[in-house]
Amino acid sequence: MPDRLAMEHGKLTPQQRQGNRRIALVLALFAFLVFATFIARQWLASP
């Protein structure tokens, strides 16, 4: 339902949309790295 979503999003500028995507990407990557490196570290340290 693109019209409805557009309504929800109001009139965001292309810069705002791009900024949204960049922030989300960085945060998601950070969360994944915390999860992955954490398990990897414990895995390597385990006997």
Partner 1 sequence: MNASHTAHHDDLGHHGHAPSGIMRWITTTNHKDIGTMYLWFSFIMFLVGGAMSLVIRAELMQPGIQYVSPEFYNQMLTLHALIMVFGAIMPAFVGFANWMLPLMLGAPDMAFARMNNWSFWLLPPAAILLTGSLFVPGGAAGTGWTLYPPLSVQMGIGMDMAIFAVHILGMSSIMGSINIITTILNLRTPGMTMMKMPMFAWTWLVTAFLLIASMPILAGAVTMLLTDRHFGTSFFSAAGGGDPVLFQHIFWFFGHPEVYIIALPAFGVVSHVIPAFSRKPLFGYVSMVYAIAAIGLISFFVWAHHMYVTGIPLTGQLYFMYATLLIAVPTGVKVFNWVTTMWRGALSFETPMLFALGFLFLFTIGGLTGLVLAITAVDIQLQDTYYVVAHFHYVMVAGALFSAYAGLYYWLPKWTGHMYNESLGKLHFWLSIVFFNIAFFPQHFLGLAGMPRRIPDYAQQFTDFNMVSGIGAFGFGFSQLLVLVVVFKAMKGGEKAAAKPWDGATGLEWTVPSPAPHHTFEDPPPFDQATAHA
Q: Under the rule (CB under 8 A), what is the footprint of partner 1? A: 1, 3-5, 7-12, 16, 19-20, 23-24, 27-28, 30-32, 34-35, 38-39, 42, 46-47
Q: Least distance (Å) from partner 1 to the CB of residue 44?
A: 12
Q: Least distance (Å) from partner 1 to the CB of residue 37?
A: 9
Q: Least distance (Å) from partner 1 to the CB of residue 28?
A: 6
Q: What whole-number distance in Å separates Cα of residue 11 and Cα of residue 9?
A: 6
Q: What whole-number distance in Å separates Cα of residue 34 and Cα of residue 28?
A: 10
* Residue 30: CA count within 13 A, CB half-sphere: 6
